[in-house]
Structure 1
Amino acid sequence: MRHLDVVCHLPLRMLIRDFSLLDESERRYAGNGLTHVDFLIYNKVGKQPVLVIETDGRAYHRQGSRQEARDRMKDRILELYGIPCERLSTAESNEQERIETKLKEILHLNYILPEK
């Protein structure tokens, strides 16, 4: 997958530049310099986003928390712009397999991605 690369902690406002699909609260959230995606896998040719990966700590992202509400808003924003997102909990395992499966689904691949 030489045409793919990854960047960490990318501000959402650098990923979503046209806020026209967002309501006012989503615009404020997406435009905040502290709002970021944990990881972005993108196509180096054309710099197109392929997959956002978010890592969620069990306590910090618990149901009903402020962070969980922000996570839902980020998921909605990414969905509006057609950017797939995979959330990985720090309490789970098989992260590599889940990411590979998601990338195969997105890129319509029928083979196993090589390990780095």
Structure 2
Amino acid sequence: MRHLNIICHLPLYMLIQDYSLLNTEESKYAANINTHIDFLIYNRVSKQPVLAIETDGYMYHKSGTRQAERDVKKDHILELYGIPLVRLSTIGSNEKKVVIDKLCEVLHL
């Protein structure tokens, strides 16, 4: 997987530049300078995104919170643009395996 690289805290507006698939609320969210992807694995040659990774603090991202609502919005935006996503909880386990398994799935390995 030498053709892959990773970037941390990538603003969503740098990843999604064509908002034609988004509604007004999603466009505003994606354009916000504080909206970011925690980690993005991308193809070093083509510069195309391969896998977005979000790390979710248990209390901050739990169901019913404002952040959980934003997470749903971000998930939908990434889905619309065909960017696979893995969400990792800070109280989870086997994170390395989860990421590797998803990468293998996405890369058809």
Deviation sequence 1:68-96 (CA, Å, 0-9, x none): 00000000000000000000000111000
2:37: which partner in 1? Answer: 37
1:101: which partner in 2? Answer: 101
1:83: which partner in 2? Answer: 83
Q: Which runs of 5+ in 1 are unaligned?
A: 110-116
Q: 1:55-74 to 2 correspondence within 5 Å?
A: 55-74=55-74
Letter in 1 for 2:67: Q
1:112: which partner in 2? Answer: none
With normalisation by structure 2, the TM-score equals 0.99
Partner SS state of residue 50, structure 1: strand
Deviation sequence 1:19-69 (CA, Å, 0-9, x none): 000000000000001100000000001100000000000000010000000
Counterpart Cα distance in 1 of 2:13 and 2:88: 22
1:18: which partner in 2? Answer: 18
**% identity of equivalent residues:** 63
Q: Which runs of 5+ in 2 are unaligned?
A: none
Counterpart Cα distance in 1 of 2:40 and 2:104: 16
Counterpart Cα distance in 2 of 1:77 and 1:85: 11
RMSD: 0.4
Higher Cα radius of gyration: 1
Total equivalences in the alignment? 109
Higher normalized helix content (fraction of residues): 2
With normalisation by structure 1, the TM-score equals 0.93
Counterpart Cα distance in 2 of 1:82 and 1:108: 15
Counterpart Cα distance in 1 of 2:96 and 2:70: 25
